[in-house]
Amino acid sequence: MTIEMKKNRYPYFPKGFLWGGAQAASQADGAYQEDGKGMNSSDVQPYLKGMSNKEIQKIETEGMTESEVERNSKDTTNYYPKRYGIDFYHTYKEDLKRLADAGFTTFRTSLDWSRIFPNGDDEEPNEAALKHYSDMIDYMLELGIEPIITMNHYETPINITLKYKGWPNKKVIPMFEKFGRTLLDRFGNRVKYWIVVNQINMVQIEPWLSVGVASDQYKNMNEALYQAMHNQFVAAAAIKDYAKSLHNPNIHIGTMVADGTVYPASSKPDNIILAMQQNRMQYFVTDVQFRGEYPKFALNYFRSNNIHIDMTEDELQLIKANPMDFLAISYYYSKMVDSTKNSMQPADTTANPNLKESDWGWAIDPQGLYNSLSQYADRYQKPIIIAENGFGAYDTLEEDKTIHDKYRTDYLGSHIEQVGRAIHDGADVIAYCAWGPIDIVSCSSQQMSKRYGFVYVDLDDEGNGSGKRYLKDSYYWYKKLIASNGAEI
């Protein structure tokens, strides 16, 4: 097979740079009834057959009511794709071996909270789950793959929603803290990089998955979501504090955001100011976790929007004393704001006429990644892991079982080139994880047909298929890219 490559204009990846991919247990593992696993926030999202991509995403943003959560958690009639994933729980050895054969030196995944503490408030962890994940981590290390582990990737136990009303309740903090301590105790000698919460800033865009809050549990939902985020800040700081007590310099505790950088629609001052203000409210999240305190502009925003966050002096001191060690970001697209149409809400944006979009309406903007990496590097001077970057698309499995996905390599190559550019200009980027290197169930739409992988999985949106894996053209392309350390894309 001949794979076309070209020279990277910015081949500035350092020796030892980590090349790999990322996924979530909630989208890949399956095995939802095995080894004592509890139900989590992803397990109750049904596949919405017959709806458009836009309709599906709107429903997922709005979330579900408490009665719907309870009903769905008991429903065995409808199809819930994330309960089955791609059966990675059983196939992880053959799947990881394929990635190692492509040259992967890192792999990011999560350890399902609801598998280890099925109800969230359990006294003791589930030993069967810990053994499974211990075996998986050992196998990754055996293959020469550096694990990057996410503690919570949309896997909040359902009991925390139904009994405690989700993350806005401060009683959840010590539960998650216990979970984090358990992971560090069991795996801290083997795992260097820990992301505490996946995309911690996504509470307003994916409130259900982010913090396990049902849509009718709080009168002032905006306030509840910011309270939930604050509680996650406290939990992350407590876990970092515990990591320090272990006196293991190889343990690095990081935070992760979904990049939401916006451009102004024009040079009109009102557009520039709105873009600046939206961006600043994105940066407040990392300001808190790296600089150790809430910036004044964020406090002003809360005050003017009737948002009252319960934050104690002890919590603020804990956050101040425990800044995160690294920043992980996901980047898929950039956005634009127009002051005549948009507000300060992070999801309120306007399509950029200068950019093409994917089938799911995500603007394709490689230079946006360079811009974001540069902004974060300048602001914090911290190591950066690109925890997610990828292109969801409809793939065709040909009769000869090949998949020709040049659209994917075009997307990834142009973005990786901009990573090299950012490194050249001083960004301390240490790892690149392509999202979903093996096709998995989509987070936002519950679809298998929204494929990101280098490895095709023979399953459709309703779970039909053999589950067999087939290598796409992009698999061989990425293998060559890794072998060149990013010099060829």
What structural domains and CATH numbers belong to the chain? 18-483 (3.20.20.80)
Whole-Å CA distances, 149 to 38, 93, 367, 385: 20, 17, 28, 12
- What is the pLDDT at residue 123? 97
Is residue 188 over pLDDT 80?
Answer: yes
- Say if residues 108 and 433 touch (Cβ distance below 8 Å): yes
pLDDT category, 54, cuts 50, 70, 90? confident
- Say if residues 31 and 37 touch (Cβ distance below 8 Å): yes
User: Across residues 58-82, what is the average pLDDT?
Assistant: 90
User: Across residues 332-358, what is the average pLDDT?
Assistant: 94
- Say if residues 268 and 375 touch (Cβ distance below 8 Å): no
Is residue 388 over pLDDT 80?
Answer: yes
- pLDDT tens-digit series, residues 151-161: 999 999 999 99
Q: How many Å apart are CA 430 and CA 332, to the nearest integer? A: 19
The candidate with the shortest Cα–Cα distance to 152, out of 183, 189, 121, 188, is 183
Q: How many Å apart are CA 270 and CA 344, to the nearest integer? A: 12
Is residue 48 over pLDDT 90?
Answer: no
- Say if residues 25 and 112 touch (Cβ distance below 8 Å): yes
In the block, residue with structure tokens 């809050």: 213
Q: To 5 degrees, how large is the angle CA 58–CA 59–CA 60? A: 90
Residue 245, Cβ density class (10 Å: 0-12 exposed, 13-18 middle, ≥19 buried): exposed
- pLDDT tens-digit series, residues 207-254: 999 999 999 999 999 999 999 999 999 999 999 999 999 999 999 999
- pLDDT tens-digit series, residues 247-272: 999 999 999 999 989 999 999 999 99
The candidate with the shortest Cα–Cα distance to 209, out of 277, 170, 258, 280, is 258
| Beta-ladder partners of 256 | 328
- What is the pLDDT at residue 56? 75
Which bin fits 426, alpha (ψ -120 to 50), beta or left (φ > 0)? left
Q: Please, what sign has the CA dihedral across residues 47, 53, 55, 60?
A: positive
